[in-house]
Amino acid sequence: MALAQAASPAADAKNGRRLFAADGCYQCHGYEAQGATPTGPRLGPRPIAFAQFQKYVRTPTGQMPPYTVKSIPDKDLADIYAFLQSLPAPPDPSSIPALR
């Protein structure tokens, strides 16, 4: 995990949240990057290393369309990644009374 954070560029998480919505990422991954089985995987709160994330966004192997540097510049992609890193971890299920 430390490697993933060390390899990520300096970026603006607030702008990343805006871009995540504006670029339509939320349509498959949800507004909080929580994912949904039929549409797209969970992306946060602990995303894969930035280099892997960038490679997949540019040349995906699944049903996701590719997002080139023209459609999402590297700086914007770094901001989106910062947003994903900024997401809080979900609560421990044992801390939720209804799930005990």
Cα–Cα distance between 64 and 62 in angstroms, integer?
6
What are the structural domains, with CATH classification, of the chain? Answer: 2-89 (1.10.760.10)
Cα–Cα distance between 75 and 80 in angstroms, integer?
9
For residue 78, give both structure tokens. 């770094």
Q: Tell me the percentage of the chain whose pLDDT exceeds 90.
A: 74
pLDDT tens digits along 4-41: 444 567 899 999 999 999 999 999 999 999 999 899 99
Instruction: Write down the residue that tokens 């994912």 correspond to.
Output: 35
Q: Is residue 87 a contact partner of residue 44, using CB atoms and an 8 Å limit? A: yes
Q: Outline where the chain has alpha helix (H).
A: 2-6, 13-22, 26-29, 50-58, 74-86
